[in-house]
Amino acid sequence: MEAIFKKEFRSYFYSPIGYVFIAIFFFVASLFFSINNLFGGSGDINMVFDNMILIFLFLTPVITMRLIAEEKNAKTDQLLFTAPIKVSSIVLGKFFAAISIFAIAMALTVVYPLLLASFTEPDWGKMISNYVGFMFMGAAFVSIGLYISSLTENQIIAAVTTFGVLFLLYLIDLFGSAVNTVSLFGLDIKLSQVISAISLVAKFKSFSMGVIDIGAIVFYIGIVVIFVYLTVFHIEKKRWSK
């Protein structure tokens, strides 16, 4: 797994992808921070984090699209899958490499609370819960992108599909507030509740309020486990299909 992780992590910087991802992420996030906090004179960083979800929605496909699709396209998967190493180690190595790029981008944003601290005493607890929640949510996003990347040989298709799925997950909250109750088999189901139960973004709300929500963390980890497993499963199934 370490070999794959190292190779994958480095390959983000052999090509411009790693730099582009980090630079755009940091630039746009800083723009929001400047407008909201510096010019707006606010000590509350929540707005920045809320907007960062949107940025990350756009940028996740950039770091996940190539993970498996490119190996398949360049036939380098033949090296990986005939080496004495398990498919799960390969997939996990790739997953953690993508998470690391995400973590680097997040680490840069630590500048914001530090800047705020020079003007006012920020709510450190809230800051920390925001970062914790964001890391876990990001991991869930990445795992979805990883899975979609394993479905195709084409990076563009992987990127577009990943963006579509993540965007849908983001919008699902809006649907929730639009439709209230549906009757199904005589049962009244509150659709908004169902949707908020599966919504990745809604789970983040408690973090932004300063709560480290164990339930939400378990939910995000569950998403990661499911999609990493699905990725491994899909690769194995493809290879062993009869």
Partner 1 sequence: MIEIKNLTKAYGTKKAIDNISFTVNSGEILGFLGPNGAGKTTTMNIITGYNGATSGTVTVDGLDTVENPMECRRKIGYLPELPPLYMDMTVSEYLNFVFELKKPDLDCEEHLDEIMEIVKIKDVSGRLIKNLSKGYKQRVGIAQALIGNPEILILDEPTVGLDPKQIIEIRNVIRDLGKDRTIILSSHILPEVSAICERVIIINEGKIMAIDTPDNLSAKLSGENKLLIRVEGKEKEVTGALRGVDGISGIECVGEVEEGTCDFVVSAKKGADVRKKVFSALAKADMPILMSKAAGLSLEDIFLKLTTDESKEAKKSKKEEDKN
Can you give the binding site for partner 1, defined by CB under 8 A? 2-4, 6-7, 11, 14-15, 74-85, 239-242
CB-nearer residue toward partner 1: 88 or 196:
88
Report how far residue 227's alpha carbon sits from residue 162's, in angstroms, rounded to the nearest whole number: 13
Question: CB of residue 73 vs partner 1: minimum separation in angstroms?
Answer: 11
Contact in structure between 126 and 204 (CB atoms under 8 Å):
no
- To partner 1, the closest distance from the beta carbon of 58 in angstroms equals 24
Q: Shortest distance, CB of residue 13 to partner 1, whole angstroms?
A: 10
229 touches 219 (CB < 8 A): no
Min dist. Cβ of residue 9 to partner 1 (A): 12
CB of 159 to partner 1, least distance (A): 19
**Given the complex with partner 1, which of 41 and 84 has the nearer CB atom?**
84
User: Could you give the CA distance from residue 212 to residue 100 in angstroms, rounded to a whole number?
Assistant: 22
* Between 79 and 189, CB nearer to partner 1: 79
The two three-digit tokens of residue 186, written as one number = 């005589």
190 by DSSP, 3-state: which?
A: strand
Q: How far apart are CA 96 and CA 231, in angstroms?
A: 14
Smallest distance, Å, CB 82 to partner 1? 4
Residue closer to partner 1, measured from CB, 7 or 205 = 7
Q: In terms of CB distance, is 76 or 177 closer to partner 1?
A: 76
Q: Give 71 or 213: the residue with its C-beta nearer to partner 1.
A: 71
Exposure string of 88-104, with b = 16+ CB inside 10 Å and e = fewer, is bbbbbbbbbbbbbbbeb
Say how far apart CA 133 and CA 51 lie, in whole Å. Answer: 14
Nearest to 154 by CA among 52, 74, 34: 74
The two structure tokens encoding residue 6: 């190292």
